[in-house]
Amino acid sequence: MTKIKVMSESLANKIAAGEVIEKCASIVKELCENSIDAESTEIKVELTNGGLQGIKITDNGIGMEHDDAEICFERHATSKLKKEDDLFFINTLGFRGEALPSIASVSEVDLTTCATNVGTHLKLKGGQKLVDEASDARRGTIIEVKNLFYNTPARLKYLKSEQYELSQSVQFIEKLALSYPNIKFSLYNNDKELVKTSGSNNLLKVIHEIYGLQVSSNMVEIKGSNDDYDIEGYICKPEVLKSNRNYMITIVNNRIVKNYDLNKAINDAYFRYKPDIKYPVVVIKIYTDPTLIDVNIHPTKQDIKLSKMEELYELITTTISNKLQEVLLIPNALKSEKTLIELPKNMIEDKDIQKDLEDKVVTEIKEDYNLFDTVEESTPVVKEEPKRYQSVMEKIMNPQFRLLNLEVVGQVLGTYIVCHNEDGLFLIDQHAAQERVNYERVIDSFEHKEILTTDMLIPVTIELSPSDFLLIKEHMDVLEDMGFVVEEFGLNTYQVKTHPTWLKEGYEEEIIRNIFDEIIVQGSSFDRVRFNNKVLATIACKMSIRANTPLSIEIMQEIVDELLQCKNPYNCAHGRPSIIKFSTYDLERMFKRVMN
């Protein structure tokens, strides 16, 4: 008697359900993707108790005939693949034919669908058909799932709280709406509307409908292409950052994916504009030939493999970096709901709506007066740029910052430089500003190999563990490129005899030890670019004026003038803001000169 037997269809479906259906959001995902493949323009999701008690999806797609409705619950039944070669040209979200039989095998399913004049109504429990009858001729499909995992108690046991399951479904619908802005999505939980999009086919408008005005008004459009990939979408200004990666949304050929390499490319493009622990809000759509991607590597199709990843990485980082350099990124100190935020014209199509928004806020200041009584001139003073800055000024990547024409009027708390111009009041963190200046000066010297070195009167001796000693030895070329002369000195010990001249006097040993520590911390995952950036940021920080240091007007003006030269004047080398703005309107409103 043979020991090996072919398992039953029911058992095979339950095993498949364990891979495809992990939680309530998995059902929402599979059913909504089927609705999209069915050419729906409206999709309504209704949950009961976060989906734990029921999930209902209603669409207006092409529907199914009776025979198709019956066969769709059989394993590997699909309308999307006809032959083997189709697997390399996948343009639909679903293609395996596993989702519906998997869902039906572990729940109760009620399906009503219609493609022509007569509809079909089916009821299944545990994969077994209970009802098969004609129904009304409403075009589209309604599918309801109840009693999830009733026959697999182990899986039922690991469903989480109602709020968690609900949040996962909401999060998926938000991303799906961003992937398909032309489709009208709505999601209800216990008859309460949680998500609603207009289906306007305007991505920025969908971002506004999902994330709100504060995020959408700080988004910037990007576009880029190379021989194999086209990318488009929106990225946020660095003032809108989140504490996790959930807002970095990548969409490949209209499929939402979670891909480490894509997230890394986005994060690397921002790393000079933010702290390491913060992440941007980004919606990027990537289009490519289906033959360059493999979507069949993950049970839920959430991850994919991309060919020519290096070229795509370069395209993403370059496109985002170039856009950030073009935009003026000074954050407003006051964020008020009443403050008019100029939205792109294509976001609000109705001119009456735009006018209503403008009528709510008075943006023109009727009374013209001098902001600071201590300044004698009644008109803005245009200073002649010092000659030593002009050649650098011409190379500024964002010329808008140069035109700010900031004039120093004082210092606050021994830390913040107060400036103004005709647009309002500006506060500059003196340490962050000078750190940015020093960082770009040091990195420019480092990149162009114009490194001057000096011998140390007393060499720095650093004793390490055997493993750390070997790590430093592996990356000795990095230290040499930076201008250090390091020699072995006894057992597991190094001696630093020469260092670059741009190390701050009095802090040489501290900086050298920090550099060694950073190499050790990165270990086998050593990233030379990030290491250089972090080390040079540390050096720039040590070289800069500290907080609580009183400065003369002349020194403060020099710091501001030097900040104007920087390629990225908006934040220090560690990502903290260097400058913030109080607009004239903000000041007028605070002092009740404008009563809006």
Chain-centre distance for alpha carbon 566? 25
Q: Name the pLDDT band for 513 (thresholds 50, 70, 90).
A: confident
For residue range 102-113, what is the model confidence (pLDDT) as tens digits? 888 888 999 999
The residue that leads in pLDDT, 378 or 1, is 1
Determine contact, residues 571/337, Cβ cutoff 8 Å. no
Q: Please, what are the domains in the chain?
A: 9-196 (3.30.565.10), 203-326 (3.30.230.10), 391-596 (3.30.1370.100)
Q: Where are the alpha helices (DSSP H) in 306-429?
A: 309-326, 351-360, 387-393, 399-402
On the question of pLDDT at 562 being above 60, the answer is: yes
CA distances (Å), 392 to each of 385, 389, 559, 562, in order? 11, 5, 15, 10
Determine contact, residues 54/165, Cβ cutoff 8 Å. no
On the question of pLDDT at 21 being above 50, the answer is: yes
How high does pLDDT run on average in the chain? 79
On the question of pLDDT at 40 being above 90, the answer is: yes
Q: Name the pLDDT band for 384 (thresholds 50, 70, 90).
A: very low
CA distances (Å), 191 to each of 12, 196, 367, in order? 36, 13, 51
Q: Name the pLDDT band for 287 (thresholds 50, 70, 90).
A: very high
* Rounded mean pLDDT, 275-302: 80
Determine contact, residues 65/114, Cβ cutoff 8 Å. no
> What's the rounded Cα separation, in Å, for the pair 151 and 485?
69
On the question of pLDDT at 394 being above 50, the answer is: no
Determine contact, residues 281/236, Cβ cutoff 8 Å. yes
CA distances (Å), 3 to each of 6, 7, 205, 293, 432, in order? 10, 12, 60, 40, 72
pTM: 0.69
The residue that leads in pLDDT, 5 or 384, is 5
- Give the residue among 135, 133, 128 at the shortest CA–CA distance from 109: 128
- Predicted pLDDT at 159: 83
- Predicted pLDDT at 195: 93
Chain-centre distance for alpha carbon 580? 23
Strand partners, 111: 122, 143
- Predicted pLDDT at 480: 84
Amino acid code (one letter) for 524: S
Determine contact, residues 123/108, Cβ cutoff 8 Å. yes
Amino acid code (one letter) for 85: D
Determine contact, residues 88/109, Cβ cutoff 8 Å. no
> Helices 553-563 & 430-447, crossing angle to 10 degrees?
50
* Rounded mean pLDDT, 284-291: 89
Q: How many residues does the chain have?
A: 596
The residue that leads in pLDDT, 307 or 298, is 307
* Rounded mean pLDDT, 431-446: 83
> What's the rounded Cα separation, in Å, for the pair 378 and 376?
6
Share of the chain above pLDDT 70, in %: 76
The residue that leads in pLDDT, 368 or 120, is 120
Chain-centre distance for alpha carbon 364? 34
Reading the block at residue 503, the tokens are 């190390």
Chain-centre distance for alpha carbon 120? 43
> What's the rounded Cα separation, in Å, for the pair 435 and 388?
20
The residue that leads in pLDDT, 404 or 115, is 115
- Predicted pLDDT at 395: 40
- Give the residue among 248, 275, 243, 247 at the shortest CA–CA distance from 264: 248
In this structure, the number of other CB atoms found within 10 A of the CB of residue 291 comes to 10
- Range of lowest pLDDT (151-160, 164-173, 292-301, 385-394): 385-394
Determine contact, residues 590/428, Cβ cutoff 8 Å. no
For residue range 41-61, what is the model confidence (pLDDT) as tens digits? 999 999 999 999 999 999 999
- Predicted pLDDT at 109: 92
Q: Name the pLDDT band for 289 (thresholds 50, 70, 90).
A: confident
- Predicted pLDDT at 370: 31
- Predicted pLDDT at 389: 33
> What's the rounded Cα separation, in Å, for the pair 484 and 507?
15
Amino acid code (one letter) for 296: N
Amino acid code (one letter) for 315: L
Determine contact, residues 293/304, Cβ cutoff 8 Å. yes
Radius of gyration of the chain (CA): 30
* Rounded mean pLDDT, 151-180: 88
For residue range 235-271, what is the model confidence (pLDDT) as tens digits? 998 888 888 888 999 998 888 888 888 998 998 888 7
Q: Name the pLDDT band for 222 (thresholds 50, 70, 90).
A: very high
φ, ψ for residue 386, nearest 5 deg: -60, 140
- Range of lowest pLDDT (58-62, 164-168, 311-315, 467-471): 467-471
DSSP reduced 3-state for 455: strand
Place of tokens 């070229």: 311
On the question of pLDDT at 407 being above 90, the answer is: no
Determine contact, residues 13/75, Cβ cutoff 8 Å. yes
HSE on the CB side for 496, CA within 13 Å? 23
* Rounded mean pLDDT, 541-551: 84
CA distances (Å), 590 to each of 193, 360, 410, 586, in order? 37, 17, 21, 6
Q: Name the pLDDT band for 19 (thresholds 50, 70, 90).
A: low
Cβ within 8 Å of residue 420, ≥6 positions away? 371, 372, 406, 407, 409, 426
- Predicted pLDDT at 111: 93
- Predicted pLDDT at 77: 66
Strand partners, 72: none
Q: Identify the burial level of 10 via C-beta atoms within 10 angstroms of its C-beta, where 0-12 means exposed, 13-18 middle and 19 or more buried.
A: middle
Q: Which helix (H) or strand (E) holds 137?
A: none
> What's the rounded Cα separation, in Å, for the pair 114 and 102?
22
> What's the rounded Cα separation, in Å, for the pair 596 and 583?
15
On the question of pLDDT at 227 being above 80, the answer is: yes
Q: Where are the alpha helices (DSSP H) in 180-238?
A: 203-211, 213-216
- Predicted pLDDT at 398: 57
> What's the rounded Cα separation, in Å, for the pair 594 and 596?
6
